[in-house]
Amino acid sequence: MNWQSIAKQSLGFFPTPLHLLPALSSQLAGPQIYIKRDDLSGLALGGNKVRKLEFLLGDALRQQANCIITAGAAQSNHCRQTAAAAAKLNLPCFLLLGGNAPSEAQGNVLLDKLFGAQIRWAGEQRKGEGIDVLEQQLRSEGLNPYVVPYGGSDAVGCLGFAAALEELLQQQSDVDEIIFASSSGASHAGLMLAKRYLQSTIKLRGINIDKANHAEQSFNQRIANLASASALRFGLKEAFAADEVCLDDAYLGEGYGILGDAEREAIMLLAQTEGILLDPVYTAKAMVGLIARVRQGCYSPQQKILFWHTGGAPALFAYSQQLLS
């Protein structure tokens, strides 16, 4: 696909590594398990959001924005990477974070501050519900803000993971299934868009990490709509339906950002077999899904299953008591 037709700002180190996890594969005695290392994408200790931000901030520069706004939970990986990207481009960054200001800045909050972001605390609103108010306020002050949506999930942000699947297929084309954390939807939608366009047979299994998604009117439909909107943005007349979305709800645990026994086991298992760190909110839940499905005998020993590591390790430091209790 000719991604050069879409405005893009280089921010990360690509392609990210892809390799086999021999010790984990042996420990689970199932399929061959591979990992795509977006935790090594380069910007702000890595993470998948840099893929979306390359397109989103490219769009921001095209629109001559002079500051960036985004929102997320207190330990948002997306907000941390957005703050870093804005700093790299010398753009002021305003973050609307859920919760209240902590007594001590830890994990991603510490990094947000190091990158110079201006943080506004939003209480129970962790998905950018008040972002339009902040945008209006900044415009009234004479600024021209660019709003990066929650999770970087819009038609532009989806392009990051459409390009990512093409990158993966150039590295290894015989993967049977990709397992990844699915939250705000754009990574999932972008993979779906590229799968259809590239006529790939890879199975996409998004692991739902947020019970709040059930409160929305069909999260599957939202993902399908994002894929359709992104296709249109790229000039493709492709429509996606909700029943095309594979979103696995079986591993939600106790809810968003809550570290349970299954997530703790997943973090410890990958750390102690492969020396790789997961985050407590997203990748741990996705790994819970992979581990459970292998133990349930869902895959044959001949299959190749890819775990897409979307980053987030800095959040571990805010969960030290829960991890070691």
158-171 and 219-233 helices, crossing angle to 10°: 80
Residues 170 and 89 in one domain: no
Residues 145 and 264 in one domain: no
C-alpha–C-alpha distance, residues 48 and 309, integer Å: 8
Q: Is the pLDDT of residue 214 over 60?
A: no
Where among 151, 181, 212 does a domain terminate? Answer: 151
Residues 215 and 96 in one domain: no
Strongest mean pLDDT among 205-214, 218-227, 230-239, 315-324: 218-227
Residues 131 and 160 in one domain: no
Q: Is 100 exposed, middle or buried, given 0-12, 13-18 or 19+ CB atoms closer than 10 A?
A: exposed
123-128, Cβ contacts within 8 angstroms, sequence gap of 24 or more: 123/98, 123/99, 124/98, 125/96, 125/98, 126/71, 126/72, 126/73, 126/74, 126/97, 126/98, 126/99, 127/71, 127/72, 127/98, 127/212, 128/70, 128/71, 128/72, 128/96
* Strand ranges for the chain from DSSP E: 18-20, 32-37, 67-72, 93-97, 118-121, 145-147, 177-182, 203-208, 247-248, 304-309
What pLDDT shows up at residue 99?
A: 85
What pLDDT shows up at residue 50?
A: 97
Q: Is the pLDDT of residue 255 over 90?
A: no
Q: Is 50 exposed, middle or buried, given 0-12, 13-18 or 19+ CB atoms closer than 10 A?
A: buried
Q: Which of 244, 251, 259 is nearest to 294 (CA)?
A: 251
Residues 86 and 233 in one domain: no
Residues 143 and 251 in one domain: no
Q: Which of 25, 76, 183, 228 is catalytic?
A: 76
21-30, 61-70, 96-105, 241-250: the lowest-pLDDT one: 96-105
Residues 42 and 145 in one domain: no
pTM of the entire predicted model: 0.93
Which has the higher per-residue pLDDT, 169 or 254? 169
Residues 143 and 199 in one domain: no
Q: What is the CATH number of the domain that holds 192?
A: 3.40.50.1100
Which residue in the block uniquely carries the two structure tokens 């399929």? 31
Residues 204 and 302 in one domain: yes
Range of the domain at 11: 3-47+154-324
C-alpha–C-alpha distance, residues 314 and 119, integer Å: 18
Q: Is the pLDDT of residue 41 over 90?
A: yes
Residues 193 and 302 in one domain: yes
CA atoms 177, 47, 153, 109: torsion sign: positive
Query: Parallel, antiparallel, or unpaired: how do β-strands 203-208 and 177-182 relate?
Result: parallel
Q: Is the pLDDT of residue 240 over 90?
A: yes
**To the nearest whole number, what is the mean pLDDT of the chain?**
92
In this prediction, residue 124 has a pLDDT band, given cuts at 50, 70 and 90, of confident
In this prediction, residue 5 has a pLDDT band, given cuts at 50, 70 and 90, of low
The reply to whether 320 belongs to the active site is no
Residues 22 and 163 in one domain: yes
Residues 133 and 268 in one domain: no
Q: Is 66 exposed, middle or buried, given 0-12, 13-18 or 19+ CB atoms closer than 10 A?
A: middle
If one counts the domains in the chain, the total is: 2
Query: Parallel, antiparallel, or unpaired: how do β-strands 18-20 and 32-37 relate?
Result: antiparallel
Q: Is the pLDDT of residue 284 over 70?
A: yes
What pLDDT shows up at residue 308?
A: 98
Q: Is the pLDDT of residue 128 over 70?
A: no
Arithmetic mean of pLDDT, 207-213: 81
